[in-house]
Amino acid sequence: MQTRRAFSTRPISTTVVAAWLAALSAAGHAQEWPTKAVRLIIPFPPGQTSSDVFGRAMAERLRRDLGQPFVVDNRPGAGGTLGANLVAKSAPDGYTLLLGAAGTITISPSVYGKKLPFNPQTELQPVSLFALVPYMLVVPPSVPAKNIQEFMQLAKDKPGTLNFISSGNGTTPHLCGEWFKHQSKADITHVPYKGGAIGTVDLLAGRAHLYCAGGPSTFGFLQSGKLRAIGMTSAKRSALLPDIPTLGEQGVSGLDNIHSWVGIFAPAGTPRPVINKLYRQIATIMSSAEMKSLISEQAAEPMALTPDQFAARIKSETAYWANVVKVTGAKID
């Protein structure tokens, strides 16, 4: 008996064909990418932040490994949001990337609200977080407090006379200070500066009294004894700074999720194969002793989160900061 084969005469959906062709195009694009120079926007001044140091180091290694220039373009302003908005509005082709920091991505939506010209969670695609920056409360030697409880007692004994500084309204140091003030009931006044380096000058001179700062910006001063750390704003002690107790250990709750980080972003809509290829290259770079050492020497923690892990972290931290802003009433003006 001869078997007859049945063939469907229904036409293939044009939508299915289009999706299939798009997938093939994206895969091919990823295999070839990059075929020209890639621009990495760093939304902070050159040479003044750990973000710039880490971003330039990553750009150089991506250039070396992928065989195309990764050109650093510093676009500072508005807490990093000017540069981030530029990337969010760029073509999603993998040739414009953002070196993003936690404050720009997770704090800005709450402090800027409708004034923020882009939505970090819908207009930027996370690629990988590659450096976690621990935060701590530091004081100058002129402040006699050796720990959090002693500082709180000092603030109680001299209400309204102590201040805490920040690198500007709406930044991580600002909200960290406001949250500490709320949780500890300390009567201290916020003094914003146009950048952490300027504020640190007054801190070292004793004109300022408390700074919630990232490890890279204070590590050298801690080593020299010019500043003293009185508590980490994390759930556990830093492996890089194990002698500094957390605020939770010292009786102040709620400040166990304050840190910064540095990561790479692309415009939303960038082909996933390109995102995945870039992530794999970053993960390879972060597995090298060379890059681990560079980041650790800056008092930060090297790592490599997948795009999905990074996106989940951003969502969680954005909710955390939204609550801090709501409870403290922190404003940018």
pLDDT in tens, 246-257: 999 999 999 988
The span from the CA of 233 to the CA of 135, in Å, is 6
Could you check whether 24-133+260-328 and 134-250 share the same CATH topology? Answer: yes
CB proximity list for 292: less than 8 A, separation 6 or greater? 286, 302
Q: Which CATH number fits domain 24-133+260-328: 3.40.50.720, 3.40.50.620, 3.40.190.150, 1.10.1040.10?
A: 3.40.190.150
Nearest to 195 by CA among 176, 174, 181: 174
- Residue carrying structure tokens 């939506």: 109
Nearest to 131 by CA among 29, 232, 52: 52
pLDDT (0 to 100) of residue 28: 54
Work out the angle between the directed axes of helices 172-184 and 307-328 (0-180°, nearest 10): 50
**Contact in structure between 24 and 55 (CB atoms under 8 Å):** no
CA Rg value for the chain = 23
| DSSP H helices in 256-306 | 272-286, 289-296
10 Å CB burial of residue 58 (0-12, 13-18, 19+) is: buried
**Contact in structure between 318 and 109 (CB atoms under 8 Å):** yes
10 Å CB burial of residue 311 (0-12, 13-18, 19+) is: middle
Joined together, the tokens standing for residue 286 give 């972060």
The span from the CA of 187 to the CA of 254, in Å, is 18
Helix (H) or strand (E) holding 138: strand 124-139
Cα angle 295, 299, 304; round to 5: 40
**Contact in structure between 303 and 132 (CB atoms under 8 Å):** yes
Nearest to 94 by CA among 284, 263, 282, 271: 271
Weakly modelled stretches of the chain, pLDDT under 70: 1-30, 48, 333
How many helices (DSSP H) and strands (DSSP E) are in the chain?
A: 13, 10
- Residue carrying structure tokens 């530029």: 86
**Contact in structure between 34 and 66 (CB atoms under 8 Å):** yes
The span from the CA of 243 to the CA of 246, in Å, is 10
pLDDT (0 to 100) of residue 13: 61
Q: What is the pTM of this model?
A: 0.86
The span from the CA of 15 to the CA of 50, in Å, is 47
Cβ–Cβ contacts within 10 Å for residue 188, how many? 23
Q: What is the CATH number of domain 134-250?
A: 3.40.190.10
pLDDT (0 to 100) of residue 31: 74
Domain ranges across the chain: 24-133+260-328, 134-250
pLDDT (0 to 100) of residue 219: 87
The span from the CA of 292 to the CA of 239, in Å, is 14
**Contact in structure between 139 and 152 (CB atoms under 8 Å):** no
pLDDT (0 to 100) of residue 71: 98
pLDDT (0 to 100) of residue 277: 98
The span from the CA of 301 to the CA of 12, in Å, is 52
